[in-house]
């Protein structure tokens, strides 16, 4: 079993030279912890951050990569002023800068950890350059999974997800070469987020602070809200179909509030393989950076998993109060994933801006999917990366524009 890769083109030598896109975010921070603990295996060659210039400068001063990138050109003077004496890296900027960073000839491994659809261009650029792509930006596969898959094979690139559930499935399936014939279905676990078990009446009144309190994982705001609505799991279901080449009907979700079992494979004979680990993103990051070899995370401070310390429970997701999960299934079936993602990103943005209520997030997304069903479906099967990205961007902007002014009473 392998991820999206032919294996033949994969860099198998160490140290890996890394470009970390989104280095100032939560995943970026964990990635740098992995590097800190395994400096003989991983070298930072480029860092890119969007907003937190102070943090980017701090990271740059520690790892002194020869390349940096920021999103906005006006941030370059501030960044330069914060760099230590004698260190003067090349500083790129904007979308073009991110694309350059992700395709630098000296870099073999790219971490794509930007938030949302904005991460797609750099992901595609890295795949097109034949890189080993550690993909934390799951939206890239949601938006253009089939295209990225075919591009990766054509360019001898590898796409390895940085996601605890998909890392778990990789470990469950790895020893088997005939997975497709023998797997009955895959079960992605979901913590259920902060509102697991809550009634609709309760959900009517939840605020931003409540939704941002994830019980098990420390993550950025967008993915934390996605976890609270179960949209994150919906996006992971779509990701699973692209990663493993299996049908939507073969992917199930189970709520597992302890976040110890990260996913399961159910075999045709009824047996089940599960992967268990402490919830820490350094594990999937280290595995993605070292794939197809498997380096073990060396952090001695990592707590051991104590199975006697807690009861592990599993239940069906509440699809009535958390309809985002089914909206993701529907979007994949109807070939409306670009539209689903655009609607979700605006819904989350508007919830965080206090423009809509928590329960209006699925309401907005459903309204956008209904609108989008009347449009022609995009066909991304062929075309240069620039052409495909342009097609996706046009549809993405179209849905965002409608979603930004959507209004309806809370139902």
Contacting range for Mg ion; rule: CB under 5 A; set: 53-61, 157-165, 393-401, 403-411:
157-165
The smaller minimum CB distance to Mg ion, of residues 45 and 195, is found at: 195
Considering the complex, what minimum distance in angstroms separates the CB of residue 21 from Mg ion? 19
How far is the C-alpha of 62 from the C-alpha of 65, rounded, in Å? 9
**Cα–Cα nearest to 170, from 302, 32, 273:** 273
The smaller minimum CB distance to Mg ion, of residues 108 and 165, is found at: 165
The smaller minimum CB distance to Mg ion, of residues 163 and 396, is found at: 163
Considering the complex, what minimum distance in angstroms separates the CB of residue 236 from Mg ion? 6
The smaller minimum CB distance to Mg ion, of residues 163 and 349, is found at: 163
Considering the complex, what minimum distance in angstroms separates the CB of residue 190 from Mg ion? 9
**Cα–Cα nearest to 233, from 225, 124, 350, 347:** 225
Burial class (CB in 10 A: 0-12, 13-18, 19+), 113: buried
Considering the complex, what minimum distance in angstroms separates the CB of residue 268 from Mg ion? 26
How far is the C-alpha of 166 from the C-alpha of 260, rounded, in Å? 14
Q: Which pair of structure tokens corresponds to residue 58? A: 């701090």
With contact defined as beta carbons under 8 Å apart, do 368 and 399 qualify? yes
First to last CA, the chain: 45
The smaller minimum CB distance to Mg ion, of residues 101 and 231, is found at: 231
How far is the C-alpha of 230 from the C-alpha of 240, rounded, in Å? 15
Contacting range for Mg ion; rule: CB under 5 A; set: 74-82, 158-166, 296-304, 400-408:
158-166
The smaller minimum CB distance to Mg ion, of residues 139 and 163, is found at: 163
Give kind and range of the element (H or E) at residue 36: helix 26-37
The smaller minimum CB distance to Mg ion, of residues 125 and 232, is found at: 232
Contacting range for Mg ion; rule: CB under 5 A; set: 58-66, 160-168, 262-270, 350-358:
160-168
The residue of the chain with the least Cβ separation from Mg ion equals 163
Considering the complex, what minimum distance in angstroms separates the CB of residue 240 from Mg ion? 11
The smaller minimum CB distance to Mg ion, of residues 132 and 262, is found at: 262
Contacting range for Mg ion; rule: CB under 5 A; set: 64-72, 161-169, 237-245, 384-392:
161-169
Q: Considering only residues 75, 108, 139, 163, which one is a binding residue for Mg ion as defined by CB under 5 A?
A: 163
Site string for Mg ion, 210-229 (x = CB under 5 A): --------------------
Considering the complex, what minimum distance in angstroms separates the CB of residue 314 from Mg ion? 17
How far is the C-alpha of 27 from the C-alpha of 138, rounded, in Å? 12
Task: Measure the CA angle with vertex 329, ends 324 and 331; round to 5°.
Answer: 90
Q: Is the peptide bond before 292 cis (omega within 30 degrees of 0)?
A: yes
Q: Does 165 bind Mg ion (CB under 5 A)?
A: yes
Contacting range for Mg ion; rule: CB under 5 A; set: 121-129, 162-170, 274-282, 377-385:
162-170
Considering the complex, what minimum distance in angstroms separates the CB of residue 165 from Mg ion? 5
**Cα–Cα nearest to 193, from 255, 139, 274, 263:** 255
Give one DSSP letter per residue of 269-295, joined into a string.
TS-EEEEE--S-THHHHHHHHHTTS-P
Considering the complex, what minimum distance in angstroms separates the CB of residue 260 from Mg ion? 14
The smaller minimum CB distance to Mg ion, of residues 102 and 232, is found at: 232
Burial class (CB in 10 A: 0-12, 13-18, 19+), 368: buried
- Interface contacts to Mg ion, rule CB under 5 A: 163, 165
């Amino acid at each position: 079993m392998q991820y999206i890769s032919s294996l033949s083109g994969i860099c198998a030598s160490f140290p890996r030279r890394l470009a970390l896109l989104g280095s100032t975010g939560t995943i970026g921070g964990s990635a740098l912890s992995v590097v800190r603990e395994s400096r003989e295996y991983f070298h930072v060659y480029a860092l890119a951050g969007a907003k937190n210039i102070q943090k980017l400068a701090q990271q740059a001063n520690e790892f002194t990569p020869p390349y940096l990138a920021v999103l906005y050109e006006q941030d370059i003077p501030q960044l330069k002023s914060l760099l230590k004496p004698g260190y003067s890296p090349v500083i790129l900027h904007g979308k073009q800068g991110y694309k350059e960073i992700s395709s630098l000839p000296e870099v073999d491994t790219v971490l794509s950890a930007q938030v949302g659809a904005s991460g797609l261009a750099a992901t595609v650029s890295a795949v097109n350059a034949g890189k080993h792509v550690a993909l934390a930006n799951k939206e890239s596969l949601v938006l253009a999974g089939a295209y990225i898959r075919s591009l990766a094979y054509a360019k001898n690139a590898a796409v390895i997800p940085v996601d605890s559930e998909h890392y778990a499935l990789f470990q469950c399936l790895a020893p088997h070469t005939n997975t497709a014939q023998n797997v009955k279905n895959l079960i992605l676990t979901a913590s259920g987020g902060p509102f697991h078990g809550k009634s609709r009446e309760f959900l009517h009144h939840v605020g931003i602070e409540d939704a941002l309190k994830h019980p098990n994982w420390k993550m950025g705001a967008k993915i934390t809200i996605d976890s609270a609505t179960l949209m994150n799991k919906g996006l992971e279901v779509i990701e699973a179909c692209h990663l493993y080449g299996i049908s939507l009907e073969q992917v199930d979700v189970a709520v597992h509030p302890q976040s110890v079992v990260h996913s399961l494979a159910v075999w045709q004979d009824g047996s089940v393989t599960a992967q268990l680990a402490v919830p820490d993103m350094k594990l999937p990051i280290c595995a993605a950076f070292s794939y197809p070899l498997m380096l073990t995370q060396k952090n001695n401070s990592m707590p051991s998993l104590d199975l006697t310390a807690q009861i592990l429970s599993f239940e069906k997701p509440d699809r009535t109060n958390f309809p985002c999960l089914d909206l993701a299934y529907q979007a994949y079936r109807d070939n409306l994933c670009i539209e689903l993602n655009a609607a979700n990103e605006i819904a989350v943005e508007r919830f965080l801006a206090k423009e809509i209520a928590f329960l209006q997030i699925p309401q907005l997304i459903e309204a956008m999917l209904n609108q989008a069903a009347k449009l022609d479906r995009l066909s991304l099967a062929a075309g240069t990366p620039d052409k495909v990205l342009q097609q996706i961007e046009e549809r993405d902007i179209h849905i965002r524009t409608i979603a930004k002014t959507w209004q309806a009473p809370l139902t």
